[in-house]
Amino acid sequence: MILQNSNPTTTTPSPSAGGLTRLGQSPTALALLGAALLWAGWPTHPAPLTLLLFVGFVPYLRLEQLLTEQQARRGRVFGFTYLFLVLFNAFTTWWVSYASLPAGIAAVVLNAALMCLPLWAFRRTKQRLGPALGYISLPIYWIAFEQVHLHWDLTWPWLTLGNGFASVPGWVQWYEYTGFLGGSVWVWVVNLLIFRCLGHWWNLPTTWHKDDPRRHSASLAQMKAFRLSGRVGWALLALLLPGLVSGLIGLSYQEKGPALEVVVIQPNVDPYQEKFPENPHFIPREEQLRRLLARTEANLTPQTRLVLWPETTLEEPYFETAFEQSPAAQRIRRELLARHPGLSLLTGITSLGRYPDAAHATATARFRDDLGYFDVYNTAAYFRDATTPVVFYHKSRLVPGVEKIPPVLSSVLKNIDLGGLVGSYGAQDERTVFAAPAAAPALRLGPIICYESVYGDFINAYPRGGATLLGIITNDGWWSDSPGHEQHLVYGALRAIETRRDIARSANTGISGFINQRGQITQRTGWWVGAAARATVHLNDEVTFYVRYGELIGRGAQALAVLGLVAMCALSISAKFRA
């Protein structure tokens, strides 16, 4: 794709190079520029700025090329690569520090280090197999990394490149076929092609020797112009064609499935000041529940069939076997569901599951002398009607370091009595799709708790299991008034497109509302206000290509990445034998 100068010290730039060439000679400026472009293109900046994602990696590509020309040491290459990535992470996800300063620092520092891995593999491949295969390998390694980052203990896919189009769902209606990793492919292909075009100014490959008599020839200038126009044409095609295809899909798509009226509640209880007993202005749990019931009652109509309350609405830990006897559950049945026959409720709770002994306990189970072996769950509880027993779903994509502790640390902490609940939360292997109530036979609800909504392949299990509606319950108030809660909201638009499911979203102190099957946010509440929203959703039971077949792009990239790494190892071994 791109050829390196074999002898950069004997070349001079074109007279028209100007400022762009000077910029291309400063590694620090290139690292800062690349991070700033990616940050500016990320949600939730104004939608037109999303275009900057298509050039955000160009400064890095020039940075790597420049350091190669200078024959820089590995440490210097890593340093500037890491600078670029840590700035991108810091600019984009600094708000994590609102919830926990150590967690915010760790998220930025460690995630940037992990992002260096695919870029290191690209550089080694380029050195071993040449520039053409090197640049082809770059998106493969990166997307393989993104796929791995979805499935391990320290998973943090917030900055998966395909999530960058969340503010412009109209550009990526084809996610129903590719999922969000298709957006990552789009970003990389366009960046590489634009970098190829900019080589016209960055001495690639439009440079010549000082004593070359052809340097001013008209024929050479015409040849270069022809080559550049071809490169620009390919870059424009790669940029525009997916958008045009998306537009055609969006224009022809119609909302599918029977209609259903849903209400989402936003109680707006401050998690730092009011929500929990240790807070300085704690609102008693009975009062929190009274306010919820009153707000819900005020927003129901005879046609309402489902209500959503947010994550950890009932935060007092309940053993699931005794939850039905709790005053909160009985009050919900008596004061809400019994008064409104045909109404269902999804609410977040903190629940406990008990085990008879260590042999039956899970790896995440804790032990206390007074309780025995038990798991703590971040749970969605579903009241199908006024009398049917409550059904539970346990959050299974847990926040690293907050809800999930790596096993090596967990084994240490479980033996330390800190006076509270220590260790990882429990999870479940399969997704739970709640059965349809008699009053709404087409309603099969897939519960999604907070962080889980970032995972496209994870959400696919709900429609595969028969879900006709997705319900997100969350508490985004941990991040204050920052881009965090806005990004979390719009990421849901991508999940709606991938699954072609309507989404009802209830947030405690974030933003509640509704997203249709095109990924359009049809209603949204304000930030940090008590509110409710009511809408008619559609209950689609058709399965998209992406839901049926999953992350084909991610798995394919992993296979190709392994082949590339094996080829490099084989060449290294062969070179040693020859030596």
Residue 461 or residue 199, greater confidence? 461
In angstroms, what CA-CA distances link 52 with 62, 226, 454?
16, 26, 22
**Proportion of the chain in helix, strand, coil states, percent, rounded to 5:** 50, 15, 35
Residues 6 or more apart in contact with residue 278 via CB below 8 angstroms: none
Q: Model-level pTM? A: 0.90
Instruction: Give tens-digit pLDDT for 475-514.
Output: 998 888 889 999 999 999 999 999 999 999 999 988 999 9
Query: How many CB atoms lie under 10 A from the CB of residue 151?
Result: 14
CATH number of 263-350+379-414+428-541: 3.60.110.10
Instruction: Give tens-digit pLDDT for 407-417.
Output: 655 554 444 33
Residues 6 or more apart in contact with residue 293 via CB below 8 angstroms: 331, 332, 335, 336
Q: How confident is the model over 37-47, as a mean pLDDT?
A: 96
Instruction: Give tens-digit pLDDT for 46-100.
Output: 999 999 999 999 999 999 999 999 999 999 999 999 999 999 999 999 999 888 8
Query: Domain ranges in the chain?
Result: 8-253+552-578, 263-350+379-414+428-541
408 exposed, middle or buried (CB, 10 Å; 0-12, 13-18, 19+)?
A: exposed
Q: Are 479 and 96 in contact (CB under 8 A)?
A: yes
